[in-house]
Amino acid sequence: MTKTELIEKVAEKTGLTKKDSGEAVTAVFDIIIEYLAGEAKKPEAERNKVQIIGFGSFEVKDREARKGRNPRTGKEIEIPARTVPVFKAGKSFKERVQ
C-alpha cells in the first residue's frame, strides 16, 4: 500500500475529503518523526518512543560499530555506529496478522 492508497482508504472510512485525509495522514507521520528525532517537546521518560496501544511502538535504538564484509571483494570493513528507527508490532496487531 502506498501513501496515496492509505489516504484514499482514510477518506473512505472517515468521510473526509482526500485533501483533509492527506493532511491528517501527513500530520501523523510528521509527529511520529518529530518525536523519534527528538525535535518535539516531551517528558524525558517518553523521549524517542511513540506507543500506539493495539498497533505497536516506534522507537530509536543505537547500533554499535561493528565489522562487516564487502560482499563483492570479501574485504573486511568497519561499519560505523548509528542510530536507527525501529517498529515493534503490538499484541493485537500480531494476532490479527497471523
pLDDT above 80: residue 66: yes
Which domains, and CATH codes, for the chain?
Answer: 1-47 (no CATH), 49-98 (4.10.520.10)
Taking the C-alpha atoms of residue 26 and residue 14, their distance in angstroms, rounded to an integer, is 16
Taking the C-alpha atoms of residue 21 and residue 8, their distance in angstroms, rounded to an integer, is 8
Q: Is 54 helix (H, G, I), strand (E, B) or coil?
A: coil
Mean predicted confidence (pLDDT) in 36-48: 67
pLDDT the model gives residue 48: 76
* Percent of the chain whose predicted confidence (pLDDT) is above 70: 92
Question: Is 55:88 a contact under the CB 8 Å cutoff?
Answer: no
Mean predicted confidence (pLDDT) in 20-48: 82
Q: At what angle do helices 18-37 and 3-14 cross, to 10 degrees?
A: 120
Residue 37: band (very low, low, confident or very high) from pLDDT cuts 50, 70, 90:
confident
